[in-house]
Amino acid sequence: MSKLPNITTSIFTVMSKMATEYNAINLSQGFPNFPVDERLTQIVSKLSSENVHQYTPMAGYPPLMDQIAKLIQSSYNRTIEPETEILVTAGATQAIFTTLLALLKINDEVIILDPSYDCYEAPILLSNAKPIRVALNDDYTPNWNTIANAFSDKTKMIIINNPHNPTGKILNESDLEKLEILLEKHPNVLLLSDEVYEYITFEEKHISTHTRKKLLDRCITVSSFGKSFHVTGWKIGYLVAPEYLMKEIKKVHQFLVFSVNSICQVAVSQYLDLVTIKEISPFYQEKRDYFRSLLKNSRFKLMPCEGTYFQVVSYAGISNENDVDFCKQLITEHGVAAIPISTFYADGKDLKLIRFCFAKDNFTLKEAAKRLCAV
């Protein structure tokens, strides 16, 4: 009598567990393995003996909400009202779950673009709504005609993820324009924009929904401090939504978590005065370039990586196996864990592609690459 008969254990859990069992280098699940900025750990140490251990207000610690508004102003030149338009969440996962549960009704349809990150589908199903999964082109550009054709009179929402996990692709100006035109034709459709990798982009600039005036009155934008500040285990993020949607989202949030970990909220609010956001992209660009240079002479084919900390590679020149089996063998025979891309498709489409996370110290990247070059 499962409510989610087709949902299984997340591929990130499966691969990380297997990596641990076989003592493999874990480039599967996306998390950094280098030390956190000392300025942030010092703030946390200091806070542990201060009076910051009780509930914060439900929607977030007010100074943090002011800091988020300042960040959005400086990054995107958008002015938002912290009290009515920001919600601090236990990571982007909870932001997305809460939003979907609050806004979807029975039989609503939600368009998701495949390959898609795994946390969208379950809350849609639990809302008795229907995920409509539309594949991106094989080069991971969106096919706006196919997407337009997937709209029906039941469509309630479209979810975009930009920069995109797992492919590292980012949407360009023309994509955003086409999205705006499409949504103009469907005035009641909402947009959920998962932008957790907003500060990790390389040659091309990330275009945030925060900068798109035409979208703001129906857009929920999701961010993650876990990704931006290398603290995925803190599970802290936020969403921005217009007040009429936020009122509904807060109704669910108050009974799902009520409020988010107080120390982390205070720590991030203080850290935001110290950190230079613009340094995050060059930091990861160096890692991307280093990892790519190490794999240059391997038999893997490197796919483009425009943003995120994921590098997709093709193993088509190495093996004909399906990507899940290939990843398992990579762990057991070569000691490196990766994520098979087919698991991000509703139909399990297998293009012989796997994903490595390069948010690792250089020693780890070098050792992993040495093993991969031997494949």
Contacts with ligand PMP by CB under 6 A lie at: 30, 91-93, 117, 119, 161, 165, 194, 196, 224, 226-227, 232, 235, 237
* 224 contact, one of ligand PMP, ligand GLN, none, CB 5-8 Å limit per kind: ligand PMP
Residue nearest to ligand PMP (CB): 91
Among 24, 30, 99, 356, binds ligand GLN (CB under 6 A): 30
Return the number of the residue (200 or 215) whose C-beta is nearest ligand GLN: 200
Minimum Å gap between C-beta 257 and ligand GLN is 16
For ligand PMP, the closer CB: 60 or 91: 91
Where would I find the beta strands (DSSP E) of the chain? Answer: 25-26, 86-89, 109-114, 130-135, 155-161, 190-194, 219-224, 237-240, 301-302, 310-314, 336-337, 339-340, 353-357
71 binds, among ligand PMP, ligand GLN, none (CB under 5 to 8 A by kind): none
Report the half-sphere exposure of 70 (CA within 13 A, side-chain side): 11
Indicate the residue among 224 and 281 with the shorter CB distance to ligand PMP.
224
Interactions with ligand GLN, residue window 8-27 (CB under 6 A)? 10, 12
Return the one option of ligand PMP, ligand GLN, none that residue 259 interacts with (CB less than 5 to 8 A, by type): none
- The interface partner of residue 12, options being ligand GLN, ligand PMP, none and the CB cut-off 5 to 8 Å by kind, is ligand GLN
352 burial class (0-12, 13-18, 19+ CB within 10 angstroms)? buried
Contact pick of 26, 29, 89, 298 for ligand GLN (by CB under 6 A): 29
Is residue 12 within 8 Å of 324, Cβ to Cβ? no
Q: Which is nearer to ligand PMP, 56 or 98 (CB)?
A: 98
CA distance 368 to 348: 27
Buried b (16+ CB within 10 A) or exposed e, 160-173: bbbbbbbbbbbbee
**Residue 292 is inside which H or E element, if any?**
helix 280-295
Q: Which one of ligand GLN, ligand PMP, none interacts with residue 161, CB within 5 to 8 A by kind?
A: ligand PMP
Q: How many CA atoms lie within 13 A of 155 on its CB side?
A: 24
Q: Which does 91 bind (CB under 5 to 8 A by kind): ligand PMP, ligand GLN, none?
A: ligand PMP
- What is the footprint of ligand GLN within residues 159-198 (CB under 6 A)? 165
DSSP track, 293-310:
HHHTTSSSEEPP--BSSE
Minimum CB separation from ligand GLN for residue 1, in Å?
26
Question: Which of ligand PMP, ligand GLN, none does residue 295 bind to, with CB < 5 to 8 Å depending on kind?
Answer: none
Judging by beta carbons within 10 Å of its beta carbon (0-12, 13-18, 19+), is residue 38 exposed, middle or buried? exposed
Helix axes 323-334, 11-21, angle to 10 degrees: 20
Specify whether the CB–CB gap between 340 and 11 falls below 8 A.
Answer: yes
Closer by beta carbon to ligand PMP, 99 or else 224: 224
Residue nearest ligand GLN, Cβ-based:
30
Bridge-based pairing of strands 219-224 and 237-240 is antiparallel
Residue 99 binds to ligand GLN (criterion: CB under 6 A): no
Is residue 210 a contact partner of residue 76, using CB atoms and an 8 Å limit?
yes
The total number of residues written for the chain in this structure:
375
Q: How far is the CB of 249 from ligand PMP (least distance, A)?
A: 16
- Residues of this chain that bind ligand GLN (CB under 6 A): 10, 12, 29-30, 165
